[in-house]
Amino acid sequence: MRKFSLFLVAVCMLAAGSLYANNETLKDPKKGLSQQIDLLLDKYEFEVTEDLTAVVKFTLNADQEIVVLTVETSDASLEAYVKGRLNYQKVELENFREGRMYTVPVRITNS
């Protein structure tokens, strides 16, 4: 039941965010990437007993695919999940530079 309610809250937040989003966020690569990464990581299938955090460092290849370089976290299951869900996933960006390194914080909460 907790997973369902957490999933429902996440879906509502994403739907509300989509209604108010505009094309200006896609011009800023960091905001656009953060939103797309949020969508890629939204359905986790492991039990969360405490809040989990990680710092993900990645780059984009010529095909605009995420190439995960490192996942800095103390939780091995979170590291495997992030790498599995993000590595070689295509993202849409107007202005991107191949090889530029990005850093994104990730937090999965126990609610």
Q: Which of 71, 108, 68 is nearest to 89 (CA)?
A: 68
Give me the pLDDT at residue 62, please.
93
Give me the pLDDT at residue 9, please.
59
24's enclosing H/E stretch is helix 24-27
pLDDT higher than 50, residue 60: yes
How many structural domains does the chain have?
A: 1
Whole-structure pTM value: 0.68
Rounded to the nearest 10°, the torsion over CA 27, 33, 39, 43 is: -170
Domain extent, residue 86, equals 2-108
Per-residue pLDDT tens digits for 2-58 = 665 656 556 556 666 665 554 444 456 567 778 899 899 887 777 778 888 999 999
CATH code of the domain containing 53: 3.30.1150
37's enclosing H/E stretch is helix 29-40
